[in-house]
Amino acid sequence: MNEKPLIAPSFLSANFMNLGRDIEMINSSVADWCHMDVMDGVFVPNISFGFSIIKIIKQHAIYPLDVHLMIIDPDRYLERFREAGADILTVHYEACTHLHRTVSKIRDLGMKAGVAINPHTPVEVLTDILPYIDMVLIMSVNPGFGGQKFIPRTYSKIRRLRQMIDSEGYDVLIEVDGGVNLENARDLVRAGVDVLVSGSGIFSTPNPVDTIARMKQIV
């Protein structure tokens, strides 16, 4: 675990009429990554941004792009997400028939490989893939929309996953996304989270830069 959490503001909650302003806001903060949720309207009931927006943000953001694919058959697009600027690419356990092949390809392309699981999926399904990935993203809401309420059972999943990782000595980060804010961030970090993804929990606050700084200081 990191001594202090990594903070990844989610652009799903950015103001796309003022995208440049929000990118500069993140650049001026003590954030660590820029989190981007890609949705296809099939795997989740919503559609978000694609390659062109990722390329624009990559051109102007100073932090690594943490790209979360909420799409079916992600293997079709791995090279294109690398070309668009993804530094970390996360696919869903539920969307990949041959998960080991997918994460191996992501790493071969020079990106960090992450695997996400939905709220109903137990962490134990990751036992055999942990040696081959860099991060697990635990969804703490049902994926597809921002601003949802955090699912409390997530804490027990994080603790179980933390024990699985630490007992084997794996170098795997735990990321959590969904309903993350200043009210629950400390409990999440104490449960074992390394990376806090927050959209509305950052962008909807009066001073997002200060909110990021406060999250960063949580131990």
What amino acid positions are annotated as catalytic residues?
A: 37, 177
Cα distances from 207 to residues 26, 27, 187, 201, 202, in angstroms, run: 12, 14, 22, 11, 8
What's the rounded Cα separation, in Å, for the pair 212 and 201? Answer: 9
Cα distances from 47 to residues 134, 146, 184, in angstroms, run: 26, 12, 28
What's the rounded Cα separation, in Å, for the pair 39 and 170? Answer: 29
Kindly state the tokens that stand for 6. Answer: 């990594």
201: exposed, middle or buried (Cβ count in 10 Å: 0-12, 13-18, 19+): buried
